[in-house]
Amino acid sequence: MTLPVLTSPLLDLPGIRHAFFTRQGGVSEGLYASLNVGAGSNDEPAAVQENRRRCAEHLKGELVTAYQVHSPTALVADGPWPAGPPQADAVVSATPGVICGALSADCAPILLADPQAGVVAAAHAGWKGALTGVAEAAIARMETLGARRDRIRAAVGPCIGPESYEVGLEFAHRFLQHDRAYAKFFQSAASDDKRMFDLPGFVLARLKAAGVQRCEWIGRDTCAEEDLFFSNRRAFKRGESYYGRLLSAIVLA
* Identity at 41, one-letter amino acid code: S
**pLDDT given at position 219:** 98
For the chain, what are the domain ranges? 5-162+198-252
Q: At what angle do helices 199-209 and 134-143 cross, to 10 degrees?
A: 40
Give the pLDDT band (50/70/90) at residue 164.
very high
pLDDT for 97 beyond 80: yes
| Mean pLDDT, residues 32-44 | 95
Which of the listed CATH numbers 3.60.140.10, 3.30.1510.10, 3.20.20.70, 1.10.287.950 matches domain 5-162+198-252? 3.60.140.10
Assess contact for 198 and 187: CB atoms under 8 A. Answer: yes
Give the pLDDT band (50/70/90) at residue 40.
confident
| Mean pLDDT, residues 220-244 | 96
User: Residue by residue, what is the 3-state secondary structure of the chain?
Assistant: CCCCEECCHHHCCCCEEEEEECCCCCCCCHHHCCCCCCCCCCCCHHHHHHHHHHHHHHHCCEEECCECCCCCCEEECCCCCCCCCCECCEEEECCCCEEEEEEECCCEEEEEEECCCCEEEEEEECHHHHHHCHHHHHHHHHHCCCCCCCCCEEEECCECCCCCCEEEHHHHHHHHHHCHHHHHHEEECCCCCEEEECHHHHHHHHHHHCCCCEEEECCCECCCCCCCCCCHHHHHHHCCCCCCCEEEEEEEC
Assess contact for 10 and 204: CB atoms under 8 A. Answer: no
Tell me which residue of 43, 50, 46 sits closest to 25, measured CA to CA.
50
**pLDDT given at position 241:** 84
| Mean pLDDT, residues 115-129 | 98
**pLDDT given at position 200:** 98
The residues pairing with 109 across neighbouring beta strands, listed in sequence order, are 124
**pLDDT given at position 1:** 65
